[in-house]
Each structure stands twice: as C-alpha cells, then as structure tokens.
Amino acid sequence: MFILAKFKQYLLLFGDLIILFASLYITLYIRYGQTYIGDHWQEYFYPFAIIYILWVIIFYSQNLYNLNFTKNNLFFFRTLSESFIANILITALFFYFTPFFGIAPKTNLFLNAVIAGVLLIGWRALFNLLMARYIFKNRIVFIGYSKEARELMSAFKSEPQLGYESIGVVNDEKIVDADFNQPTVDELTQNIKTLGVNTIAIRYGANLEGETSGKLYRLIFSDVTFVNLLKLYEQITGKLPIETLSHGWFLNNLQESEKKIYDRFKAALDYFLALALGVILLVLFLPVSFLILITDGRPVFYSQKRVGKNGKAFEIRKFRTMIKNAEAGTPQYAEKDDRRVTPLGKFLRRTRVDELPQILNILRGEMSFIGPRPERPEFAEEIAQKAPFYPLRHLIKPGLTGWAQINYPYAGSIGENIQKLQYDIYYIKNRSLLLDIAIALKTLNIILRFRGR
C-alpha cells in the first residue's frame, strides 16, 4: 500500500541520518580516539546536527527521497554526488562564518566528507538494490480492467522500488491482452495463498456488482487488504484521472471549508515573501531591462490577461523573452524550443528571472507563489469546453509555480493542458504547507539546474 512506500521513504531518510552521524563518530575516533569522543561529543553533535538536517533538505530538493528516482544508474549517483558537493560547501561556509560554536574543523571536515561520502554511496547502492526492490514486496491484483489499472501495472513493472508486484487483472470477461495475466474471480479466490496475493485494488462502484462482490467478500476473512483503485492511483502518480471523476466525487473530496486557516496563513506568507523577493526584483530590474533594450529593443515588458481565482481576469507582466509581435494578434501556445524566444529570453526563462515582475501580482493578492499556473482567457475557455471540470482550477489563486509545473512538461495544446489538469486537481484537493514546501524545493532544483521554460 501507499503506507509501505512512505515507510520506505522514512527508512531511507533515517538511514541517511544514521550514516551521517556514524561518519562523524568515525571521524572523531580516527582523529582523537574513544576517550576524546566521550568528553567532547556534544561539542560536535549539535552543530553537525544542524548541518546534517540541511543536508537532508538538499537531498530532498534533488529528488533523492523520491522512490521513482532511486535506481543504481549514472544519473542517480551523479545527482547524489552533486548534492553532496553542495552540502560540503554549505558546511564549510557554516563553520568558517559562524563562530558561535567555537570550532573550525578543517581536517575533521575533510575527513568527515570522505567517510560520509563513501558510506552514503554504499548505503544508497544497497538500498536501491535490495531494500527498495525485494523487501516488503506487495503482490497486488486489480479487479476489472481500466486505464488506471493499466498505468499502475506499467509503473510497478518499471519502478520496482515502489514495492508492488502486479499479479494481473481479475476479470470474468476475458480480454485478449498478452501483457498481463487475467485470472477469473473464482481462480483468484481459490488460489489466493498460492498466488501470494496480499492486496486487491478495486474501483468501487464500477465493478462490484452481482456474484463478484459476494466472492470477494469471502476474502475479508483472509490476510488480504482491499484498496480503492483511484485512491491508490492518486497516491502513486500524484494526479487524478479526470475521466473517472464526477460531481459527487468533488462534493465528497473538495472540502474547501477545512482549508480556510491554511489559505489565510499562506496568503500572509505570500505577502511577506513577496516583500523580501521584491528586493531581488529591484536589484535586477535595471540590468535586465538594459540587456533587453540593447539586444532586442523595446518593449522591456509584455503583459497579458490571465484567469485568476473565481474566474476573475487580471493582468500579469513579465520581462519580454520573445521577439516583437510574436503572436501577430492571434493567441498561440508556446512550444518546446520555440523559435520566437530570443537568445536572452532563453536564459531569462531557464533561470525564471522573467517571472519576477509577477511579484507585484502577489502583493496585490491576485496570485500566490504556489498554485495552478494562470491561463489566458482564450485558452481557458477552449479547454473548459473539452474538460468540464477545468474551472475548478480557479477555486484557488494561481501561482508562479505549482504541482503540475514540476510534474508535467510544458503544455502546448488543449490535450496536454487536460493532462496537466490532473495534477492541478490533485494539488487543490491535497494542498498543505508540507506539499507547498516540497513544491518550493523542487522548483529551486529546477532553477539551480537552469531547467525553466
């Protein structure tokens, strides 16, 4: 179940912390011996505890606690190494510019970095190879064929570290498909122990009619866990399948009254963060404006109408990144590697500097730092005709970044925007301070790696 995946993530996090403190202990033991550690452990424990917590935050921002990412491949270990180097630099700055703790461990820091690096790489390689793939494996079957079941089976096959092993789809009406097993309900109930099934995923209300529900009911008395297919899909993929949702689902799941305290706190936080980041806007305003003027002339900014909370239109401004008259009067979606983007515009987009003027929209209360990306009215109306639930994006303020932006590539068509909507509705349903922190950290990762669009 999803709890199992969370357990693995917590195991990974605590494993990292144990490795880091173990590396500190080994460092002190090599340098000074056992007696010294007994007398001076606390002098090192507290400052390094602060540092190691920062390290974990950096690891998180680089997706190193994402089970989809934990694989023994070059990309994973390169990311781990880059994050580790960044952490070492942070640690050096911390100790050399924070005299409060009274220690400047030049040799100790170097030795600790070597030991921690070796132990972390060994621990992560072992976790990826054994713990995440083979221990606590959850053998699951799906009752009834569906697109969601199909996607989950593919995910479990390609991402074994999620901890699921798909046995197949149970369906009395045989579907010809060589890619997965299809036992009947009778075969499942009669051979539940032989198959080793411990989880059954059901799309409630869709395939629990007649004899099927009676046969599955008898399995309640066995060691089998029943899970809601759509809830499992939501937890594993971080999105909600639009085609399965209904008015009743939204009435049951979008409890906006329960979010009032969170929304008020977030609005206050947005305002104070916008004031702080406004300093960056003031610092960059003149040099960025000057560069745009000398490379492509006026105007420096471009403005557009966007749809905000409750469908109310407002105007955003950005540093101009495209050539003049890029649309020639006809609204167009931006494309990947769009030829209309200027050379300077590419840099501004990759660093997200072009977005900074929208801090003014946040100060005016029209936007938030985190939320669904505001869409142009022309496109919003067109998408809503194909996806009736699209206006639900307007339940909350739009944002500079959001769950959809970090999980889905740039949407350049109606179909892609509908796909992206699945992530927006997931965020609206599950939004919280912790989810916002996760989005902020992953957005920071995108900015630092110059991957903005």
> Other CB atoms closer than 10 Å to residue 316's CB: what's the count?
22
Q: pTM for the complete prediction?
A: 0.78
Q: Is the model's pLDDT at 407 over the cut of 80?
A: yes
User: What SS3 class is residue 401?
Assistant: strand
pLDDT for position 177: 47
Residue 142 CA from chain centroid, whole number: 26
- 315's CB contacts (< 8 A; 6+ apart) are 303, 304, 305, 306
- pLDDT tens for each residue of 210-255: 666 777 777 777 778 888 888 889 888 889 988 777 777 787 777 7
Q: What is the pLDDT of residues 163-199, one digit of tens each?
A: 788 888 886 554 434 455 566 777 777 777 777 788 8
pLDDT band at 55 (very low <50, low <70, confident <90, very high): very high
370/67: higher pLDDT: 370
pLDDT at 187: 73
Q: What single letter denotes the amino acid at residue 377?
A: P
**DSSP helix, strand, coil percent of the chain (3-state; round to 5):** 65, 10, 25
| Distance (Å, whole) CA 217 – CA 165 | 23
pLDDT digits (tens, 9 = 90+) for 261-298: 899 999 999 999 999 989 988 899 899 999 999 988 88
Least confident of 15-29, 163-177, 302-316, 383-397: 163-177
Question: pLDDT > 90: what percent of the chain?
Answer: 25
Q: What is the mean pLDDT of residues 115-126?
A: 92
Which of the four pLDDT bands, split at 50, 70 and 90, describes residue 308? very high
Instruction: Please give the C-alpha separations between residue 404 and each of 262, 411, 423, in angstroms, as whole numbers.
Output: 20, 10, 5
CB 411 within 8 Å of CB 420: yes
pLDDT at residue number 174: 46
DSSP secondary structure letters along 412-443? -SHHHHHHHHHHHHHHHHH--HHHHHHHHHHH
Give the pLDDT of residue 211: 66
Give the residue among 30, 22, 31 at the shortest CA–CA distance from 118: 22
* pLDDT, averaged across the chain: 83
| Helix axes of 106-126 and 74-97: crossing angle, nearest 10 degrees | 150
- 138-237 to CATH, choices 1.10.260.40, 3.40.50.720, 3.30.590.10, 3.20.20.150: 3.40.50.720
Distance, CA of 261 to CA of 83 (rounded, Å): 35
Instruction: Report the alpha-carbon distance of residue 189 to residue 447 in Å, rounded.
Output: 52
Instruction: Look at 441 and 360; give whichever has higher pLDDT.
Output: 360
More confident residue, 385 or 253: 385
pLDDT tens for each residue of 59-94:
988 888 887 677 777 778 888 888 898 888 888 887
Taking CA atoms, 211 is separated from 184, 207, 208, 282, in Å, by 12, 11, 8, 69
Per-residue DSSP letter, 179: T
Phi, psi dihedrals of residue 307, rounded to the nearest 5°? -95, 125
Residue 160 has pLDDT above 50, yes or no: yes
Compute CA 286 distance to the chain's CA centroid, rounded to the nearest angstrom: 34
- Would you list the domain boundaries of the chain? 2-134, 138-237, 257-448
According to DSSP H, which parts of 191-338 are helical?
192-195, 210-217, 229-237, 247-253, 260-296
Helices H, strands E: what count in the chain? 18, 8
The model's confidence at residue 26, banded by pLDDT at 50, 70 and 90, is very high
Q: What's residue 166's pLDDT? A: 86
Assigned token pair, 404: 């959809």
| Residue 178: per-residue pLDDT | 41
Which position has the higher pLDDT, 150 or 332?
A: 150
